């Protein structure tokens, strides 16, 4: 299984707010920056959040990130059907000397 | 625009070798660490390897250590992944990805290629 733990799936209605959690330990999330990626069906991952809470240019402010201790959270407000995708968290693991990802969360917008 | 294009995937028998390439354009390739990330069918992302901007530092996932070798040719703006002793569990789409910060080997990854499919099957 993945080093970082995410809920496998979530669902919410259009217009609502959803949060996706990502849990790790002191070797990864606890001492390194977290990034988030969105993967629409059949496409490559897309850069969504970096350094825990920063948005790359072009990413709407409906997407936000936060980190506390050994956990991180991705928030999405004003859900749209186009937000239906798999979302992954990632960070460096200092003990493994490797990049680690969460198992991914499939978001369904009902 | 910034672009990464992978090539070299295909169907290969277990135990054989394959070499993937990733052609980069639109940025100063020699100043960024570069990564390979794979995704098995219906599964999540799995990081494979990274090479520093100058090529002096490499790190690998335990699952490919000793079988895969990452390399780069900065004169040709190309990243490579030599895959030996391939196994069925190596079947995946292989993406190359660019590190966001220059002169920094780790993540995050701001640019991803479209991927190339590798199928290991007899």
CB atoms within 10 A of CB A14: 11
Closest-CA residue of B relative to A47 is B110
Q: Which of B32, B37, B53 is nearest to B114 (CA)?
A: B37
Closest-CA residue of B relative to A103 is B44
- Report the Cα B76 to chain-centroid distance in Å: 16
Q: Is the pLDDT of residue B105 over 80?
A: no
Distances (CA, A) of A88 to A44, A103, B62, B117: 12, 7, 20, 20
Q: Is the pLDDT of residue B30 over 80?
A: yes
pLDDT of residue B106: 79
Chain A closest CA to B72's CA: distance in Å? 19
Q: Do B107 and A102 touch (CB under 8 A)?
A: no
Q: What percent of chain A has pLDDT over 70?
A: 100
- Using a CB-CB cut-off of 8 Å, the residues of chain B touching A97 are 59
Confidence class of residue B104 from pLDDT cuts 50, 70 and 90? confident
B106/B119 Cα distance (integer angstroms): 28
Per-residue pLDDT tens over the stretch A19-32? 999 999 999 999 99
- Using a CB-CB cut-off of 8 Å, the residues of chain B touching A103 are 44
B107/B79 Cα distance (integer angstroms): 16
Q: Is the pLDDT of residue B64 over 80?
A: yes
B85/A32 Cα distance (integer angstroms): 33
**Interchain contact B105–A (C-beta under 8 A):** no
Tokens of B51: 């090479």
Q: What is the dihedral angle through the alpha carbons of B59, B61, B67, B69, rounded to the nearest 10 degrees?
A: -30
pLDDT of residue B103: 85
């Amino acid at each position: 299984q993945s080093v970082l733990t995410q809920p496998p799936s979530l669902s919410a209605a259009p217009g609502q707010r959803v949060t996706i959690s990502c849990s790790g330990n002191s070797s990864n999330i606890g001492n390194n920056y977290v990034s988030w990626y969105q993967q629409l069906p059949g496409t490559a991952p897309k850069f969504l959040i970096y350094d825990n809470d920063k948005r790359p240019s072009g990413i709407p402010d409906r997407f936000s990130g936060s980190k506390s201790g050994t956990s991180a959270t991705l928030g999405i407000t004003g859900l749209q059907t186009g937000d239906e995708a798999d979302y992954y968290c990632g960070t460096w693991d200092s003990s493994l000397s490797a990049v680690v990802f969460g198992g991914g969360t499939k978001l369904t917008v009902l | 625009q910034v672009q990464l294009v992978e090539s070299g995937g295909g169907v290969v028998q277990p135990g054989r070798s394959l070499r993937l390439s990733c052609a980069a354009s639109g940025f100063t390739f020699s100043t960024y660490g570069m990564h390979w990330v794979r995704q098995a069918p219906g599964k999540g992302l799995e990081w494979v390897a990274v090479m520093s901007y100058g090529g002096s530092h490499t790190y690998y996932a335990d699952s490919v250590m000793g079988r895969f070798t990452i390399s780069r040719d900065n004169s040709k703006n190309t990243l490579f992944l030599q895959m030996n002793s391939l196994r069925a569990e190596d079947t995946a789409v292989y993406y190359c990805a660019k590190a966001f910060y220059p002169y920094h080997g780790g993540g995050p990854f701001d640019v991803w290629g479209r991927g190339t499919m590798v199928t290991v099957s007899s």
